Amino acid sequence: MASEQGEPSIGWREQKKLRTLLELCTAARRLAVERGLDAMNVDDVAKAAGVSSRTFFNYYETKLDAVIGPVGEIGTPASRAVFIAGGPTGVLIDDLTVLYASAYEPEDEARENISLVTQLIKSEPRILGGFIAAGVRHEAALAELLDARGGEPTPPEFASLTAGLMSALTTRAAMSLATDPDRSLAAALHDQSVMAARLFHRPDPRRSDDRDDD
């Protein structure tokens, strides 16, 4: 969903930086699952990702940061640009769904990372705590995107509510794949958003009147 026709692209250098950022994260998560957080170090992560330890510190400060990953990066650079411009649909919840779903590409890598994170938060309390703390950065990143899209500061309460809602929908989408592994992550997130919308459905009172007359 992140490669809609006409969607702005990013340069080769930016693509390479993004790729390295994600590869370091995946490498750190794999090692944390295999060895445990205490038995791995930055050098191990860098070697597994095929970069130098010096390069590692250009992207993350600690091995725990690498395991948590780029929580401040919502979606992809291209999908963020579309979102800020008011697209792709103009309906905020639909556009947020597209934005978040764009991070699910490539599909196989996204699935692996969901599996790794699920294992880690069960076995490493520090990692669970890290994800909770990272929620503050995620909220701030989303607030910036909402500000840019709306052209004015977003009320903090609204940004916090939106971040919490999208995190919950994303988590539920990932969990739903356990019973339907063939469904795409993007489709699962869309389905969760549709179900959430039902909470705010208001019946048309005119239809109720019509039934009473029958």
pLDDT for residue 58 is more than 60:
yes
Q: What is the pLDDT of residue 4?
A: 40
pLDDT for residue 1 is more than 50:
no
* Domain range list for the chain: 9-69, 71-202
* Residue 200 structure tokens: 């705010």
Domain 9-69: give its CATH architecture: Orthogonal Bundle (1.10)
CATH superfamily for domain 71-202:
Tetracycline Repressor, domain 2 (1.10.357.10)
pLDDT for residue 94 is more than 80:
yes
Q: Name the percent of the chain lying above pLDDT 70.
A: 92
Q: What is the pLDDT of residue 73?
A: 82
Instruction: Give the ranges where 76-204 is alpha helix by DSSP (H).
Output: 77-84, 92-101, 107-123, 125-150, 156-176, 185-197
Q: What is the pLDDT of residue 108?
A: 85
Give me the torsion for CA of 165, 79, 5, 12, rounded to 10°.
-150
pLDDT for residue 87 is more than 60:
yes
Indicate the pTM of the whole model: 0.76
Q: What is the pLDDT of residue 194?
A: 92
The 10s digit of each residue's pLDDT in 130-146 is 888 888 889 999 999 99
Q: What is the pLDDT of residue 57?
A: 97
Q: What is the pLDDT of residue 208?
A: 57
The 10s digit of each residue's pLDDT in 106-125 is 888 888 888 898 889 888 88
Please give the biggest Cα pair distance in the chain. 76
Segment 83-94 shows an average pLDDT of: 96
Q: What is the pLDDT of residue 9?
A: 54
pLDDT for residue 92 is more than 90:
yes
CA 51 to chain centre: 25
What's the CA gap between 175 and 181, in Å, rounded? 10
Segment 79-88 shows an average pLDDT of: 96
pLDDT for residue 7 is more than 70:
no
Work out the pLDDT band at 5, boundaries 50, 70, 90: very low
CA 156 to chain centre: 20
Domains 9-69 and 71-202 share a fold: no
